[in-house]
Structure 1
Amino acid sequence: MRAAVCRYKYRAPALSLLERLFLDDFWALLANRVYPRWLAPNLLTISGGACIAVATVLTLVHSPWLQGNAPAWVYGANAALLLCYQTLDGSDGKQARKTASGSPVGEILDHGLDAYAVGCITTMCTDAFAFGLLSPWPWLVLVGAQSAFFASNLTLIHHGRMRVDSISVIELQMAMGACLCATAAWTPALWLTRLWGVELRVLLGAGTVIAMASSAGTGAWDALCSPSSDTRGAVWRQCASCVAYVVIVGIAFASLVQQPDASSVAVHMLLLMLCSNSCFAEFMARLLLLRLAEWPVHLCWPGLAFLASFAAIVQVRGGGLGASVCAILAAVAALSHAHFFVWAVRSMAAALGVQLFRVKGARSWCRL
């Protein structure tokens, strides 16, 4: 692993529209004028992940079935936490360059947490729009966002530089933050307003899914347009794994919505979201390890096996019968991802001889 990691070279992606306008300068200002010299960039990354975790917990505690039942302050807090996550996620690289602490460890930690955050942010916005877990829209947005994230990282893996469009995830996060603020001010009923006979939330959901599908398609096509036949074969295999994931999630959802007990189905849907998000995040961690350490990626990984087992249980036994087994599978999938992710980060740090939460030359994480 050490030899492969030492061959790694980072190439910064292009800037999106808002980054070019002001965000990139703002993040640089934070690193140069606000963050102390001893602050490790990985601490910023972890703090951003913690913001998303807190927002997700707030949402699930106050509105577990994502039907828009949380108090107004939760949506306002989630908007602030989403902004904090974006700011910390955007400025950690600036801090890494300022402290000369950049390494492949920071990249896998950053992108690995981003992969898990995709599902968490979808959860927050599903509740803000009061879709509920039984609606197909949250699931379309989830797999659309995950597919776009996968395709973007696919270009990083096979071309050495991540594809970023002018309208990218940064702009989408800003729009989500604005929607959360609007929900805090006018309640989720705002999104039931009809425009041209269609609910506003449906129009926004459809627009998001179309944009995500377009981004995923162009990213995958860019990765496939490689002069190497070996690279094209690897891209096809990795795309097949992503498609298999999406199909399994779709089968599980279709099986659950046919069950008559709505309360039991809602529990299973929540477990499915946890299981699928862990499965996807593990897949992305394995792809990142391929990029950074040339670690082989298999078409089937443990998280996908757990997700397939989940889908098989709800297909065969029905939504009201396998709750305990599904809960176990969701928990094991989460633990499987966490174990692999922590192992990957620690192994890369050990191979490079770097401290995860300490800048070069510092005596501790909070002192030079």
Structure 2
Amino acid sequence: MSVKRYLTPEQLVGFENYKYSAQDTSPLSNYVMHPFWNTVVKICPRWIAPNVLTFVGFLFTVANFVLLSFYDYSYYASSVDIPPGTGPYPPVPNWVWIVCALNHFLAHTLDGIDGKQARRTGTSGPLGELFDHGLDSWTTFFIPACIWSIFGRTDYSISPLRFYFILWNVLSCFYTSHWEKYLTKILFLPWGYDISQALIFAIYLVTGIWGQQIWKFEIVQGISSGAMFEFMMYAGSLGTSLPMSFWNVYNHCRLIVSQMSSTRCELLNWLLLPLALAVGIAITFPTLELATLLIMGSIATVAHIHYGVYVVRQMCDHFHIKCFSIKDRTE
């Protein structure tokens, strides 16, 4: 069966010459997280491929999104001006938040030990980093979308427009950090990453124990204040966030490929055209907005999954390795 060729010969040669370089100066990362991960990775059997850890960790964030989509599909369950237990929006059960806290902790832990497992098993390579960062680009949507359920979406919580700004801030930070690496060849890991993961875990846990109302303070306003400077289009509803996020995921991964292979990054990709068309339809014909944006979100999702699967297959063929298993050294 032939493999779709997304990567050019020039990019594959660039991957052959790629060397990982990062700077992490965070005290929390260096004195707390890494010592913890160094201990945890010793428990992991050596036959488990690093990409399995990466993918399972990613699935924990997907599980949180699916779980909260079931219990809080419209983001009204935690809204302060809707009395709990009334109307069609019952509160999210506390056990759900406990599960989300556990899932997030496991996801962060597996994301922290996958590289250590690769070095421990002698399987480090560009595929692992690309796989890791590619899945991280998806979590830039899943994690904020789950956190939003804690606050709700009405006037005294976080409106869809405000969440849109928050999401764009997260996406922009992720993109610019990889753009910085594209220019400098060094990934500068921000101090805020491990702190933010610890805070998200704490928010889930505290919400599960004491309930959502503890977070209804003015600090909610500050969460998104820095995001107001982002340039964007807004089509008027929650639905816009999904296709825009998945288009960014697709765009982020192409930047990461160019950065790791030391090739020129393309200016635009084809998904921008249907995205612009979807936003235009949503603004012009409000009644078609939800259907249009869901269709666009589906197109972007399928396109990116296809891209990711075939890029991984192409790299596996090129480097004569397997994605989810460690090659027997006796072969």
Q: TM-score range by the shorter chain?
A: 0.7 to 0.9
| 1:292 positional shift | 2.2
Whether the aligned pair in 2 keeps the contact of 1:38 and 1:362 (CA below 8 Å) is no
1:92 to 99, 114, 127: 114
1:159–1:213 Cα change, 3 Å: farther
> What's 2:314 paired with?
347
> What's 1:3 paired with?
13
Deviations 1:207-234 (A, max 9, x none): xx53x799xxxxxxxxxxxxxxxxxxxx
| 1:186 positional shift | 2.4
> What's 1:164 paired with?
189
**Larger RCO, structures 1/2 (Cα 8 Å, 6+ apart):** 2
Whether the aligned pair in 1 keeps the contact of 2:165 and 2:228 (CA below 8 Å) is no
1:185–1:348 Cα change, 3 Å: same
2:73 to 57, 64, 68: 64
> Any residues of structure 2 matched to 1:295-306 within 5 Å, and which?
295-306=263-274
Give the alignment's TM-score, normalised by structure 2.
0.85
1:321–1:358 Cα change, 3 Å: closer
> Any residues of structure 2 matched to 1:184-333 within 5 Å, and which?
184-193=208-217, 199-203=218-222, 205-206=223-224, 209-210=225-226, 246-248=231-233, 251-252=234-235, 256=236, 265=237, 269=238, 271-318=239-286, 320-333=287-300
Q: Secondary structure of the residue that 2:313 maps to in structure 1?
A: helix
5+ residue gaps, structure 2, are 1-8, 79-90
> What's 1:13 paired with?
23
| 1:184 positional shift | 1.5
The amino acid of 1:126's aligned partner reads W
> Any residues of structure 2 matched to 1:33-112 within 5 Å, and which?
33-67=42-76, 68=78, 69-112=91-134
> What's 1:117 paired with?
139
The amino acid of 2:219's aligned partner reads L
The amino acid of 1:163's aligned partner reads F
| 1:76 positional shift | 1.4
Distance in 2 between the 1:297 and 1:309 partners?
24
| 1:281 positional shift | 0.6
Whether the aligned pair in 2 keeps the contact of 1:66 and 1:130 (CA below 8 Å) is yes
> Any residues of structure 2 matched to 1:120-159 within 5 Å, and which?
120-131=142-153, 134-159=159-184
Deviations 1:324-365 (A, max 9, x none): 3332221111111111122222212222111111124269xx
Whether the aligned pair in 1 keeps the contact of 2:259 and 2:265 (CA below 8 Å) is no
* C-alpha RMSD over aligned residues: 2.2
1:24–1:169 Cα change, 3 Å: same
Q: Which moved more, 1:140-149 or 1:320-329?
A: 320-329
Q: Secondary structure of the residue that 2:75 maps to in structure 1?
A: coil
Distance in 1 between the 2:264 and 2:27 partners?
35
1:329–1:213 Cα change, 3 Å: closer
The amino acid of 2:183's aligned partner reads H
- Number of residue pairs the alignment of both structures matches: 305
- The structure with the greater share of residues assigned to helix is 1
Matched, 1:358 2:325: yes
The amino acid of 2:62's aligned partner reads A
Q: Secondary structure of the residue that 1:321 maps to in structure 2?
A: helix
> Any residues of structure 2 matched to 1:177-188 within 5 Å, and which?
177-188=201-212
Q: Percent identity?
A: 24
